[in-house]
Structure formats: C-alpha cells, structure tokens
Structure 1
Amino acid sequence: MNPTALIAEDEPLLAQALQAELARQWPQLEVAAVAANGPAALAQALALRPSLCFLDIRMPGQSGLEVAQALAEEWPDEAGPLPLLVFVTAYDQYALQAFDAAAADYLLKPVEPQRLARCCERLRHLLAATARPQVAEQALEQLRALLAGTAAPSRAPLRFIQASVGNSVRLVPVEEVLYFEAADKYVRVVTADREYLIRTALRELLPQLDAEVFWQVHRGAVVRASAIDGVHRDDAGKLRLSFRGGHPGTLNVSRLYAPRFKSM
C-alpha cells in the first residue's frame, strides 16, 4: 500500500502549495485529507490513520503540538504505530534549534523544495524501517522533549491556588493538592478532602508548578508525585494511579507519559 498523509494548515494557499510540492516530489504519497484547524486535524487523523502528519504549529482550536499530544494518547493500539510527525512552523531560526535538538523533523514556512526533498527522503527511510515500533517510540520521546520545552517553569513555583467558594476565595496550598484535572473550561483541583474548580487552563497552570513535585501523566492531568500510592496495570497494559490516604479517585496514565513508570 502507498503511504498516506494528512496536512493540517489553516492558511489555504500554504496548504495547497505543500500538497502540490509533495505530489511533485513523492508521487506515491496520497494526501488523504487537509485540515484547517487543530480539532479537525485530530478527528481526521484518528479516522483516517495516515502514515504521516504535517502539522502546523499555530492553528485555531489546538496547536500542532497539542494535536500531536492528543494523537499519542488517543491512537488505538490496534491501529499500529503512530503516524510520523512533521511540524510546519514560521518560527525563526533560533526557535527552530529547539526542534532540531529534539530530533523532530520540521519544515519552515514557506516550504522550500530542497528542504522538503530532504524531509521526504528521511520519511521514506523511516517508513521502510523494519523496526517501526522503535521509530514510534523515538517519536514519542521527541514529542515529550518538545512538550517539556514549551512548559518552561516560572521563576518561583506556585504556592497557593486561588479557588472561588461561593462568594469567597479560598487559598489552597499547593502541597495539599493531589492532582489537577482538566474539566471542560475549568480545572478540577483535588485535595484529600474536597474539590475546587478554577478557570485557569491546565496548559497555563502547568508552567507555574514545580516539575519535580508535579508530574504530568496525561494531557489533561497533573499529579503530585508524593501523593501517588501505586501504579496498576490492567489486562490491556494500561496504567492507572491510586492515591495515598485511601482517596477513592484514580487517574489514567497515557502512553506518552507511561515511560516514567516503566520500571513498575
């Protein structure tokens, strides 16, 4: 079967130019879909299961990195290895060094034919590799590195969470928090004895937390490491966390962050 690709780009002219240049340089590659925003890219990638995804970094709804993170967590096990990911970006050369150091491939807008030719050659080699699961694991490692780079910590970690309780504001010490979990437009702040809702998005909260104290275990969940009582593996190999003190809640660990617990 010929390889297939998804292009996620919110600028129609750039999407058309990339598709045309791919057709010229790689005639065997079938572009299965072109998505104009992040949610559409994620939905089409999960439905069509392409071999490759060209993801614009800045898109409406979800960024390319957020789409990649969601793909890594929602990709069905029976679908085989994750698609190979190529990030398309308008970042300047200094920002691109971070992508290069993480060994993730990228294309700079506007895409130059010579650079695309090198990218295509690399992708053809990776698709032909006999150790494709290893390639997929390398892609996950690269994605983890990129996501960690986008969540640079603030100078001083957050010490209190300001949560509304009726007509009052409660200052919740961060050391009392078991975990933070995204819930629609809110974040659940879960302590041993109660829960709060705050309007701060999880992606905005994450850089304010001490990464040595709070571990991301899913794109929608961040856990205080010292609160974890155990890590349990089900029959399908998926991991769930339980908490100290008999707290009844549990949390899933996504495949993207499962290597943190690989010794268990």
Structure 2
Amino acid sequence: MTAPIRTLIVDDEPLARRGLELRLAQHADVDIVGQAGNGREAGFAIAALRPDLMFLDVQMPEVDGFALLRGLPAEQMPLTVFVTAYDQYALDAFSACAVDYLLKPVEDARLDQALATVRARLASREAENSRDRLLKLLAQVSGRPELTLADALEPAAVATPERLTIKDGNRTVRLDPETIRWIDAAGDYLCIHTDVENFVIRATMRDMEQRLDPRRFQRIHRSTIVNLACVRELRSHLNGEYFVTLETGQTLKLSRSYKDKVHLLH
C-alpha cells in the first residue's frame, strides 16, 4: 500500500483553504495534516508536521509564500504547489520552478493534474531536484541570482544566532532567546524580561527586532516586543486596543496600530 501524501494547506483566505480541503478529500492518498493562515503559522507547522506536500498561496500579507520558502531549512522543504492569481507571465516562471501551480479559483482537472505530478515526483525521488528549482525561483524573486542553498533557505540561521549576546552594565551575557518573555523600552534603553532575571541594555526596539526571529517574537506596541510562545490570552478593549496576557500573568497592551500586523492566537 502506498504511503499517504502528508499535505499542508497554506492560504490566508479561510474559504480558499476550505475549498481546497474539500477537493483534496476526493483523493484517498492525500492526508491533510494541517492548515495555516499565514507564513509564520506555516513555518511552525512545517517544522512540527514535516509534510511531504504543501499547497502554498503566493500572495499573503506580512510573510508571503516566497518569504516562507526563504525561511525554511533545506531539509524541511516539502514539495510545493503554488496557488496564485498571478498573470500568465509569472505563471510560466512558477511552472518552471515549482512542482506545479494552481490558478485561483482552483479547478478540479488542474488539481488532479498537479497531484499526478506530485505522485510521480515522490515515486521517482525527485524532491531534491524540486528544491533546486525552487532555489532558482527564489534567486529570481530576490534579485540575487548568486544565492546559495544556505542563503536562500536558511536566513534564520544567519540572522538569528542560538544565543543573543547583550551588554548589561559591566556584564556581557549570552542569552538564550527562548528564555525571553517580553521586552519593553524606556528612552534609549530596553528591559529584557526572562525566566530568571531582567536585563537592561542600551539599544533600540528596531535593533532588537532585527536580532530576534520574527516567527517567534513580534512587536505589539511601539515600546513592546513579546515572545509569542508565552502568550496565554488576548482580550479586546472598548477603545479598539487589546490586552495580551502572558503565562506568568503579566498583561501587556497591544496597540491598534499593531493589531493587524500581529498574529498571536490565529
């Protein structure tokens, strides 16, 4: 018996995800292991679920399809079928670099054709070749044709070190980012709140944003960055603002200007 094709659906439109889910349900060898509504959710889902196949919407807010692919380690890259509303010129590029593409609204015949291609690729062990084609596309999109596999698919490993080196007073500390619960600003200084102690450093919020993995840390206020893994609850307020409650019970304000940019409990 052929192993099921573990499949992830990534699209910011719930109706589009549902429509694709219903169509895929007609294929007995397709096992939908997860769905994601944005690139950040998809990154976590891929790491946890390790799907064989991903149906990926190209156009999504914040982290689009290309940004998601650039952030994936090579060993986690699933076979990818683009779902897009791009014009024919762009589709030619997609078809040359991805397993296949589907034009919205998705037609049953084209979906069947895409799945046939996926089955053939899996059977002939051409997943590595598919990654190479995706790499070429990422180089075209980024305007950097000299991209290597590590550059294109593992920027997080370069931009986000395992340890964050900070200077607290006369101490230099190597901090595990996972221990950070939230960061707030006061003038030219930041206070980093961790599981064990707090650190005060001279830096800007912009500097800290660039040093932290955006899939784990998001700015919820002009003076606050939060570790998404520490969020327990999101409550709305009458004036359109929200309050974020952490696992420790600490309550932080999510301002209106950042509300639509933050994916906390979606």
Question: TM-score, normalising length from structure 1?
Answer: 0.52
CA distance in 1, matches of 2:34, 2:62: 18
Q: Deviations over 1:80-112 (max 9, x none)?
A: 774211111110112111112335411111111
1:219 aligns with 2:155: yes
Deviations 1:104-154 (A, max 9, x none): 41111111111111001111122222x3xxx232122111111121123xx
Tell me the secondary structure at the aligned position of residue 139 of structure 1. helix
Q: Residue 122 of structure 2 aligns to which amino acid in structure 1?
A: L
Structure-2 residue corresponding to 1:50: 51
Identity %: 41
How far apart in 1 are the matches of 2:44 and 2:106? 25
Give the SS at the match of 1:71. coil
CA contact (8 A) 1:72 1:140 kept: no
Task: Tell me the SS of whatever aligns to 2:33.
Answer: strand
1:3 corresponds in structure 2 to: 5
Rounded to whole Å, the distance in 2 between the matches of 1:136 and 1:3 is: 13
Distance in 1, matches of 2:76 and 2:73, equals 10
CA 82–102 in structure 1, closer or farther in 2 if over 3 Å, else same: closer
Instruction: Decide whether the 8 Å contact of 2:99 with 2:118 is kept in 1.
Output: no
Match of 1:91, SS state, is: coil
- CA separation in 1, counterparts of 2:15 and 2:98? 28
- Take 2:23 and 2:92, find their aligned partners in 1: how far apart are those partners? 25
Output the CA distance in 1 between the equivalents of 2:109 and 2:102. Answer: 11
Q: Residues 11 and 36 of structure 2 are in contact (CA less than 8 Å); yes or no, is this contact kept in structure 1?
A: yes
- 1:69 corresponds to 2:5: no
- Superposition pairs of residues 1-264 of structure 1, within 5 angstroms: 1-24=3-26, 26-73=27-74, 82-102=77-97, 104-129=99-124, 131=125, 135-152=126-143, 216=151, 218-219=154-155
Q: Output the CA distance in 2 between the equivalents of 1:33 and 1:139.
A: 22
Structure 1 residue ranges (4+ consecutive) displaced by more than 6 angstroms after TM superposition: none
Question: Amino acid of the residue matched to residue 72 of structure 1?
Answer: P
| Residues 98 and 134 in structure 2, CA contact (< 8 A), matched pair in contact too | no
Give the aligned partner of residue 199 of structure 1. none
**Residues 175-226 of structure 1, C-alpha deviations (whole Å, 9 max, x = no match):** xxxxxxxxxxxxxxxxxxxxxxxxxxxxxxx69xxx69xx94753669xxxx
**Residues 13, 103 of structure 1: CA spacing in aligned structure 2 closer, same or farther, 3 A cutoff?**
closer
One-letter identity of the residue aligned with 1:6: L
- Provide the aligned C-alpha RMSD in A: 2.6
Given that 2:79 and 2:99 are in contact with CA atoms closer than 8 Å, whether structure 1 keeps it comes out as no
Q: Mark the runs of 5 or more structure 1 residues left unpaired by the alignment.
A: 74-79, 153-205, 223-264
User: TM-score, normalising length from structure 2?
Assistant: 0.52
Change (3 A) 1:115 1:62: same
- Distance in 1, Cα, partners of 2:77 & 2:12: 23
DSSP-derived class of the 2:71 partner: helix
Q: Is the 8 A contact 1:81 1:136 kept in 2?
A: no
The count of aligned residue pairs is 153
Aligned partner letter, 1:116: L
Q: Is the 8 A contact 1:32 1:48 kept in 2?
A: yes
